[in-house]
Amino acid sequence: MKSKDGKSLTWADTKRMPLTSRVIQETMRVASILSFTFREAVEDVEYEGYLIPKGWKVLPLFRNIHHSPDNFADPEKFDPSRFEVSQGALPRRPAPPPISISRLSSSCRQITFCRLLQVAPKPNTFMPFGNGSHSCPGNELAKLEMLVLLHHLTIKYR
């Protein structure tokens, strides 16, 4: 992989591509790779007045999560700046209440990706590769491949 000046593209180079990283995040939010995933309730859960009994299958629809105005302002607009970091917090969204790292780790296994792209989405609102122990094991590689592809398309476009 070569950069614009002919040198090999390095890991450090990929860290200096925040706009490209935000475009990738926003693309995955708008056009989710996963449509849904099956989960099983491990205990009885009451949600908005409805009982979901232990053992029932639950089908979260990622497009609905990624396009909810509760999670993203103006969700139908393609806006990579929504993933821009402003002093450690995302703009145009109230800061989430503090949560423990152990809870974050169990509810958002995308911690490494969040660090790579310098953003930590509110847990369970941005899940382009699934979530938890069932998330795609190749997600980091896929995101890096997207970043490298966009980099080369951009610098070699005539």
Q: Report the SS3 class of residue 153.
A: helix
Whole-number pLDDT of residue 2: 58
| Amino acid (one-letter) located at 11 | W
CA–CA separation, 149 and 9 (whole Å): 12
Residue 45 lies in a domain: no
Residue 116 lies in a domain: yes
Residue 74 lies in a domain: yes
Average the pLDDT over each of 6-20, 38-52, 60-74, 79-93 and give the range with the smallest value: 79-93
CA–CA separation, 46 and 51 (whole Å): 4
Mean pLDDT of the region 128-154: 89
Residue 40 lies in a domain: no
Q: Domain count of the chain? A: 1
Residue 101 lies in a domain: yes
Residue 47 lies in a domain: no
For residue 104, the tally of other CB atoms under 10 A from its CB is: 15
In which band, very low, low, confident or very high, does the pLDDT at 97 lie, cut at 50, 70 and 90? very low
Full residue range of the structural domain in which residue 107 is found: 11-35+62-156
Position 155 pLDDT exceeds 80: yes
Residue 43 lies in a domain: no
Say what percent of the chain tops pLDDT 70.
Answer: 73
Mean pLDDT of the region 121-146: 87
Position 120 pLDDT exceeds 80: no
- Pull the structure tokens for residue 52: 């979901």
Whole-number pLDDT of residue 95: 40
